[in-house]
Amino acid sequence: MEKYRALIVCGTGMGSSMLLKVMVDRVVMDNKLPIILESDVLAGAKSSNADFFIAGLDLVPTLEKIGRPVVGIKNMIDRKEILEKLQAQLKAFEG
């Protein structure tokens, strides 16, 4: 199974990104999703080699301008939301 690279993006690199990274890590591991996770601040997204981005909804419009898929998360502690959105993105990659 092909693995996809995802970049968890935050605006400043502070608390919210750590929370999102922990929650996404758990969902990926618990569900054995074929995703390799990295994290960075918004400024590093453009030069990233990620296949797609994961971020809070506030960053989605900015990330969409880069031209790669963006998974926008509304509730960073809702594992169900995170799982559903990651599965939808993986399905989109598979065509």
* pTM of the predicted model as reported, rounded to 2 decimal places: 0.94
Q: Is the pLDDT of residue 95 over 90?
A: no
Q: Please name the residues in contact with 73: beta carbons below 8 A apart, sequence gap of 6 or more.
A: 20, 54, 55, 56, 57, 81, 82, 85
Pairing of strands 52-56, 4-10: parallel
Residue 13 has pLDDT above 70, yes or no: no
Q: Which amino acid is at 38?
A: E
> What are 29-82's pLDDT values in tens digits?
999 999 999 999 899 999 999 999 999 999 999 999 999 999 999 999 999 999
Residues in the chain: 95
